[in-house]
Amino acid sequence: MSQKLKFSSACGSRFYATVRSRVEQYFTQNQLSQYANTQMWIKTIFFLTGFAGIYFMIISGLCPRWMLLPLSAALGILSAFVGFNICHDAIHGALSGNKKVNKIFGFVFNLVGANPYVWSITHNVVHHTYTNIPGHDEDIEVAPGLIRIAEEDEVNAIQRYQHWYAFPLYSLASLSWVFRKDYKKFFQKNIGAHQNKHSKLEFFNLFFYKALYYFLFIVLPLLVLDVSWWQFLMGFLLLHIAQGLTMGLVFQLAHVVEGTNFPVPNKTGQMEEAWAEHQMRTTANFATHNRLAAFFLGGLNRQIEHHLFPKVCHIHYGEISVIVKKTAMEFNLPYIENKSFLSALRSHFLILRKFGKEAAAN
């Protein structure tokens, strides 16, 4: 079982109290809800309509065969965008103040191949609490033994090439999620310091909704489409390669770039910094002034704001980021950001190369 961790309650807590008060004041003064607004519901309709529309275009059999592969890739990318924009907020309880509404939209996660209950544990509970702490934050463990991103990670000679093979590995993230990851996490005794105890309902939900996904995306297409098994397999793999690469890149650029830390606790499990200060040193933004990134990435390019205010809908992150950045500067805390997606990608590449060279030298 992973060691129980405790964060310091010193100066960092003053930062969090201040920034939280200012953000709450922003919503009160502007008479705004922290949940989805009209713009957010339009985004929700757009992504769900696009996802369902492309799926039914494929399954209808009305499209010429040459269109099926590009449509499969588009469906994979849209699956990632549905996860980013809708499910992510809903599972955090940030889409609506109504728990039933959040549960309904969180259910959609099953239709992109992932289990919302397992995600709520690994992401909401563990990742958001123990961000970038080796051995605790399993969200950053893409391929243990193959990819090294911190000093504490296992060293392997092949890692000298990781800055080249990491990106193809990221493209397998969705396939792993559909067939392996959820089952593995569900049946682990612990996820980080969290002890797994599941109700009978969650056992049923895991297997039932996985079976539903397999039926909708494997069995049904094979039954209704006039394609051979290998043509179907090409489309299915392309869907998940597109989805996996989109997810993998976005998640990595938020925590594994130059400037972010991978702190470790002392022997008693005590972290040196307060939780909010820890978030500022382990999380990064990118492409924050790019409207397309803001629209498609569901606020995941503004991870600093998301980690400090996970129950605030991402549609508000642009406005509150001004408050967060100003307050961080007042408290002499870092506000890590890359100006563009490409600069963040380059920074991630350099991190991979740096730890790969260190592995080669050992």
Return the pLDDT at 1. 43
Give the Cα separation of 153 and 150 in Å (integer). 5
**Whole-model pTM?**
0.92
How would DSSP label each residue in 267-305? TTSB-SS-HHHHHHHH-EEE-TT-HHHHHHSTTTTBHHH
pLDDT single digits (tens) 227-265: 999 999 999 999 999 999 999 889 999 999 999 999 988
Query: What is the rounded CA–CA span in Å between residue 91 and residue 117?
Result: 8
* Host domain of residue 198: 11-361
Q: What is the pLDDT of residues 4-47, one digit of tens each?
A: 788 877 555 799 999 999 999 999 999 999 999 999 999 999 99
Assigned domain for 137 exists: yes
Output the CA torsion sign for 105, 108, 114, 117.
Answer: positive
Residue 29, pLDDT score: 97
Residue 331 domain-assigned (yes or no): yes
Q: Pseudo-torsion of CA 324, 279, 7, 134, nearest 10°? A: 180
Q: Has residue 215 been placed in a domain?
A: yes
Residue 6 covered by a domain = no
Q: Is residue 4 part of a domain?
A: no
**Residue 218, pLDDT score:** 97
Is 30 a member of any domain? yes
In a domain, 216, yes or no: yes
| Residue 124 included in any domain | yes
Q: What percent of the chain has pLDDT over 70?
A: 98
Q: How many domains does the chain have?
A: 1
